[in-house]
Chains A and B, each alone.
Chain A
């Protein structure tokens, strides 16, 4: 789990910014500023590592994932994949990059084309990257992939509506691993599933990582799931990282007041523990990202904020070994 500093990360994000312009008017469009969905995020992922990215809605966690795979264009910063800046790649290098990075989306209903059979869905990356020599070879690979994700090879000719939610997510995973990626972006991969099915999919992802040595960026709002799945965890709030640390540090010794509040808000399925737990209930709502607070973005809900927090933006700094916190009071 501990990564030596000498290994080159699979993915290294530096000072990533994704701003969405806010326009008013129809004919005479006026620029009314920008929503800073992601504002200065630094994050790296080592080979075979799982980094959990957690946050509430509007935190920008999904936008980070979308920026990596090129679904949104970053405003600034660097996204390095195996040492090369993705944002400056030529088309050939970009194709190669796309072969090596898979993605699994939240909604197993919306992310599979209802008019395609499971075989065609899983074949798509194989076709796009010319990863087979004959039809037989392609078919054999699809059947192998179906079995790897725990489905029957015989299900290849079925359409998405003939599968359950859990099975569809397995198809999505088969598609993501088809081109032998070294990194998979998992965007809320289990949050649409029932608890008993969730555990099956988490186990499958775990098993695939051991077998294929894939690194995961695990984007989720469920903190229990992220603890189980991740080696390191990054906590986002309003476009910024609040805390990044190995999972046990984040969960057993959280330092940022937001991380603390977030963890104490999650009810644990054990009445005896719940009786004894301390609860910090945050007041208010997450501010609108169009008009974030000055200084530290969390200060309007923070139990320990003072005037200083309104004036300067806290930098993410290493407080204990491996544990980075962006807070003036820590």
Chain B
């Protein structure tokens, strides 16, 4: 994060020494649908370092959630199938792991929280039992020890009267409180990696802020790396160290949040950023929207998938899909015209 010249080497050195805990290489996940084959994730590679906060951002259908589900081994098969790639986590390729091994990893070394806490929690089981469950399964705690620890976890995530909450059912809580319970469960085995898939999208903005602050605090405390999957560009700017921008199944741009927002490497990222109205300053006149529609994944254009909507499109873009290339520092982008486009912005 430090950019001053004298500390740059130190920062780079410590970034290198921080070990990579997740490495996704050439991941491709497809779904067979009635409308045709959907390449939901297409040749996606990225890595997450220890204690890092990585954001995966994009609009609906871009593949951000399918990427997360692939990492967790939660792709429903059929209709979905991981057709290629490697997911290296803790020295193991998760794509070669058995179901039992994956169950051991999920909820153990890798946690996940979803958008809808009401459907992720069991409505007929008390909160205490649900939080204690991973402790008993993964850590082998006794019933009483697990209950004590569950109470501690609920107080860690800032629930009022945590010991009384142990005997409550999910419907007795608000959406924000349920999401706190989900965080307590996900963190119960002190995972190496936590994936938050649109975890605060359904919450009101003041509650969203509470839950995100909590998420950052507990992951820092436990030394857990965090992947935030979101469509909210503000959340990325506030919390992420690095960001992957996805569009139509592929990563189109990746870099530190500071670099990507300051000088986007891809016209899609630039278009997304200018589509969001400004909270800090009044604007009048037109918003710089992206023309056209999000493409149909069963019928993608040849070449770059963003070409039909791109203001910088050239003939080449419609024929060949650009590879991810370095655009300076730790910043990569997949655009044939990035030099020209970045020169003009």
| A pairs with B | yes
A interface with B by C-beta (< 8 Å): 56-57, 164, 166-167, 194-200, 202-203, 206, 221, 223-225, 227-229, 247-248, 251, 261-274, 279, 281-286, 301
**Residue of A whose beta carbon sits closest to that of B238:** A267
Q: Is the CB of A247 within 8 A of B282?
A: yes
CA distance A273 to B271 in the complex (A): 19
The 5 nearest A-B residue pairs measured at CB: A267-B234, A199-B289, A228-B277, A269-B233, A56-B204
List B contacts of A301 (CB < 8 A): 206
Q: Is the CB of A228 within 8 A of B206?
A: no
Known: A195-B59, A199-B290, A224-B277. A269 touches B205 (CB 8 A): no
Q: Is the CB of A196 within 8 A of B59?
A: yes
Q: Does B286 contact A (CB under 8 A)?
A: yes
Q: Is the CB of A195 within 8 A of B276?
A: yes
Q: Is the CB of B205 within 8 A of A272?
A: no
List A contacts of B208 (CB < 8 A): 265
**Residue of A whose beta carbon sits closest to that of B287:** A199
Q: Does B167 contact A (CB under 8 A)?
A: no
Q: Does B279 contact A (CB under 8 A)?
A: yes
List B contacts of A269 (CB < 8 A): 233-234, 236-237, 261, 273, 276
0/1 interface trace, chain B 173-212, chain A, CB 8 Å (1 if under): 0101100000000000000000000000000111111100
**Residue of B whose beta carbon sits closest to that of A284:** B160
Q: Contact residue range for chain B? A: 35 or more
Most buried by A among B261, B287, B291: B287
CA distance A203 to B288 in the complex (A): 9
**Residue of A whose beta carbon sits closest to that of B230:** A267
Q: Is the CB of B286 within 8 A of A206?
A: yes
Q: Is the CB of A265 within 8 A of B238?
A: no
Known: A196-B272, A196-B275, A228-B278. A268 touches B234 (CB 8 A): yes
| Pair count A-B, CB < 8 A | 140
- A sample of 15 cross-chain residue pairs with beta-carbon separation below 8 angstroms, ordered by A number, consists of A195-B233, A196-B59, A196-B294, A199-B276, A199-B287, A199-B290, A223-B205, A223-B279, A228-B278, A268-B234, A271-B258, A281-B209, A285-B176, A286-B206, A286-B207
Known: A194-B59, A195-B231, A268-B234. A228 touches B210 (CB 8 A): no
CA distance A96 to B205 in the complex (A): 39
List A contacts of B176 (CB < 8 A): 285
List A contacts of B82 (CB < 8 A): none
Q: Does B33 contact A (CB under 8 A)?
A: no
Q: Does B345 contact A (CB under 8 A)?
A: no
CA distance A68 to B283 in the complex (A): 29
Candidates B204, B210, B275, B287; contact of A57 at CB < 8 Å: B204
List A contacts of B161 (CB < 8 A): none
Q: Does B99 contact A (CB under 8 A)?
A: no
**Residue of B whose beta carbon sits closest to that of A269:** B233
Q: Is the CB of A197 within 8 A of B206?
A: no
Q: Is the CB of A248 within 8 A of B210?
A: no
**Residue of A whose beta carbon sits closest to that of B309:** A196
Q: Is the CB of B237 within 8 A of A268?
A: yes
Q: Does B232 contact A (CB under 8 A)?
A: yes
Q: Does B13 contact A (CB under 8 A)?
A: no
CB proximity of A301 to chain B, nearest CB, Å: 8
CB proximity of A254 to chain B, nearest CB, Å: 12
Q: Is the CB of B293 within 8 A of A274?
A: no
